[in-house]
Amino acid sequence: MSARPNKTAPRQRGRSRSSGGAMAVWLIAILVAFVATVQLRSQAEVERSLQSADPATLAFSIDQLHRSNDALEAQIASLKQQQSMLQAGGGDAVDQQLMSEANQLRMLEGLVPVHGPGIVLTLDASGLTSLDLQDAINNLAAGGGEALALNGHRIILGVDIEQSDIGVSIDGTAVSAPWSFEVIGDPNRLAETADLMTQQLRGDRRVHVAAYSVAQDLVVRAVVTERPFVYAVSS
Amino acid sequence: MSRSQLVSSGVIALVALAVGFLLAGQIKAQLLTPSNQVARNQALVHSVQDLERTNDSDRRQIAALRAQIDALEAQAASQSDTTRALQSQVADLRAHAGLTPMRGPGVEVELANGSPSADPTGQARYLVNFQDVQDLVNLLFGAGAEGISVSGRRITPVSSFSGSEGEVVIDQGPPLFSPIKVLAVGDRNRMETALQDPALLPSLRVRQLQFDLGLKVTGAPDLALPAYDASLEIPHVGPA
């Protein structure tokens, strides 16, 4: 009876060592499979993204991001200057800073008349819809427009340009062709944008005349009416 | 375990490892296009990724600077009635410009790419594009929205939309891709009614039928919009 445990004990120890070794092999094999899978999946993902983005799209993104990052860095410089003035000056400096910001925001929100260099784009066309006009406004804004009026109506994003059976209305007022877009902004960028737009628009059967001119100093007197928030609260 | 068993286990493990790497290497080599087109695209992709990182870091810096300026102004306003009145005016203007977070009732609209079915025009019309987002934002403002954000980007009075197929760029980017989530705070009932009108958003509705493009609208009693975190500079504009 006493011999059995003596005989079996080494065998059990041996089995436990052997199962430990097998487990190590399995663990390594699982690790290998995992590494291989990760490697393959990451490669496949890179492949998919490269296939989905063609060089033209990537080039567009690079150009757009360069321009955007320049604008963001200009904003950072302006905010840092603002911050330094606030830190250095007393109450008067703060008041001046706040007045300056208020004036800037009123111009941006279309609440006051503005002037500056820009372009005037005119379209003599029949049958253009509110969507066509919104497209043109967006193209001009994306192409360097900083303040804009259409047929004497100040336009900011949020102004209602609506289509009805009788035509187009801007904030409830009926408007009709010919269309005149007065745009203040970087005149060189705007001229490039207007050039492309007029070329494309001349291919549209509804458009009889599409032309633009660069203005050294354009005055936009139209303003939008301030609308207080009814539903929204600042948080 | 005897020495020989240990050695054999080690050999098996090494062989398994080598086989795994060989297998991965072989399949990886087969995945690569045998031209330098991929290398060129990879270089472009890396450039885009670097620029996006800079863009993200600049935005965070702008948000931090605006918060610091707010704090300095609030400190000064606590000491002067004039400053307090000015600060209140500026706070209202900032809210309308999208420079402060906003909350309230509204709608959430999700736009998602459709199925890449055969498109006879070859224009990938099953993808959500920037005009879709532009049309939707214009519709929502026309239907009583007081503030809008698009996939976390707040819309301002001077926002613009651009992009290429399947890519939406708002203001200073970076590009957004499907699914695009538009949140609008304002007159919830008017916005929901407008979004149900089959005569509005014609391009989206046609493509919804043709390519199964996603357009999901959900009303919500309380939505939160972030503050705008990019540039609002208008250097060529002055008061008339």
**CB–CB of B54/A69 below 8 Å?**
yes
> pLDDT tens digits for B4-45?
777 777 777 777 777 777 776 666 656 555 566 677 778 888
pLDDT for residue B21: 74
Cα distance from B210 to chain A (closest Cα, Å)?
A: 21
Cα distance from A166 to chain B (closest Cα, Å)?
A: 16
Average pLDDT over chain A, rounded to an integer: 84
Task: Tell me: pLDDT of A3 over 50.
Answer: no
CA dist., res. A1 & res. B47, Å (int): 78
Check CB contact of A3 with chain B, cutoff 8 Å.
no
Check CB contact of A28 with chain B, cutoff 8 Å.
yes
The residue of chain B nearest to residue A135, with distances taken between CA atoms, is: B131
Beta strands A145-150 and A179-185: pairing type? antiparallel
pLDDT for residue A99: 93
> pLDDT tens digits for A36-54?
666 665 555 444 444 566 7
A94/B72 touch (CB, cutoff 8 Å), yes or no: yes
CA dist., res. B162 & res. B63, Å (int): 23
The residue of chain A nearest to residue B229, with distances taken between CA atoms, is: A72
Task: Tell me: pLDDT of A89 over 80.
Answer: no
pLDDT for residue A123: 95
A184/B155 touch (CB, cutoff 8 Å), yes or no: no
Q: Which of B27, B94, B102 sits opposite A235 (nearest CB)?
A: B102
Q: Give the pLDDT band (50/70/90) at residue B118.
A: low
- Higher-pLDDT residue of A134 and A59 is A134
pLDDT for residue A2: 38
What does the domain layout of chain B look like in residue ranges? 47-95, 100-225
The residue of chain B nearest to residue A71, with distances taken between CA atoms, is: B231
> B100-225 has which CATH code?
3.30.70.1880
> pLDDT tens digits for B79-108?
888 889 999 999 999 999 999 999 999 999
Q: ipTM more than 0.85?
A: no
Task: Tell me: pLDDT of A9 over 50.
Answer: no
Hey, which residues does B145 pair with through a beta bridge? Answer: B186
The residue of chain A nearest to residue B21, with distances taken between CA atoms, is: A36
Q: Give the pLDDT band (50/70/90) at residue A160.
A: very high
Residues in chain B closer than 8 A to A114 (CB atoms)? 237-240
Residues in chain B closer than 8 A to A62 (CB atoms)? 44, 47-48, 51
The residue of chain B nearest to residue A106, with distances taken between CA atoms, is: B93
pLDDT for residue B36: 67
Cα distance from A113 to chain B (closest Cα, Å)?
A: 5
Task: Tell me: pLDDT of B194 over 50.
Answer: yes
- Per DSSP, the three-state class of A177 is coil
B69/A29 touch (CB, cutoff 8 Å), yes or no: no
pLDDT for residue A46: 45
CA dist., res. A26 & res. A21, Å (int): 9
Beta strands in A5-159 (DSSP E): 114-125, 145-150, 153-155
Please give the helix or strand (H or E) that residue B209 lies within, else none: helix B202-211
What b/e string do you get for A126-141 counting C-beta neighbours within 10 Å, with b at 16 or more? eebebbbbbbbbbbbb
Instruction: Calculate mean pLDDT across residues B107-135.
Output: 87
CA dist., res. A215 & res. A152, Å (int): 16
pLDDT for residue A26: 75
How many CB atoms lie under 10 A from the CB of residue A233?
12
Q: What tokens does A118 get? A: 């820009």
- Higher-pLDDT residue of B236 and A91 is B236
Q: Which of A93-102, B32-41, B90-99, B210-219 has the lowest mean pLDDT?
A: B32-41
The residue of chain A nearest to residue B147, with distances taken between CA atoms, is: A232
> pLDDT tens digits for A180-189?
999 999 999 9
CA dist., res. B5 & res. A61, Å (int): 59
pLDDT for residue A27: 78
Alpha helices in B36-182 (DSSP H): 37-77, 81-97, 130-142
Residues in chain A closer than 8 A to B13 (CB atoms)? 24-25, 28-29
Cα–Cα distances in Å, from A23 out to A15, A26, A234, B6, B12? 12, 5, 60, 12, 12
* Chain B stretch 86-145, residues whose beta carbon is closer than 8 A to a beta carbon of chain A: 86-87, 89-91, 93-97, 100-106, 131, 134-135, 137-138, 141-142, 144-145
Cα distance from A194 to chain B (closest Cα, Å)?
A: 16
CA dist., res. A4 & res. A8, Å (int): 6
- Per DSSP, the three-state class of A26 is helix
Q: Which of B38, B40, B101 sits opposite A234 (nearest CB)?
A: B101
- Higher-pLDDT residue of A175 and A17 is A175
- Per DSSP, the three-state class of A115 is strand
Of these ranges, A23-32, A116-125, A157-166, the one predicted with the greatest mean pLDDT is A116-125
pLDDT for residue A11: 47
Share of chain B above pLDDT 90, in %: 60
**CB–CB of B231/A74 below 8 Å?**
yes
Where does residue B141 rank: exposed (0-12), middle (13-18), buried (19+ CB within 10 A)? buried
* Chain A stretch 68-97, residues whose beta carbon is closer than 8 A to a beta carbon of chain B: 68-69, 71-76, 78-80, 82-83, 86-87, 91, 94-95, 97
A226/B24 touch (CB, cutoff 8 Å), yes or no: no
B51/A76 touch (CB, cutoff 8 Å), yes or no: no
Q: Give the pLDDT band (50/70/90) at residue A8.
A: very low
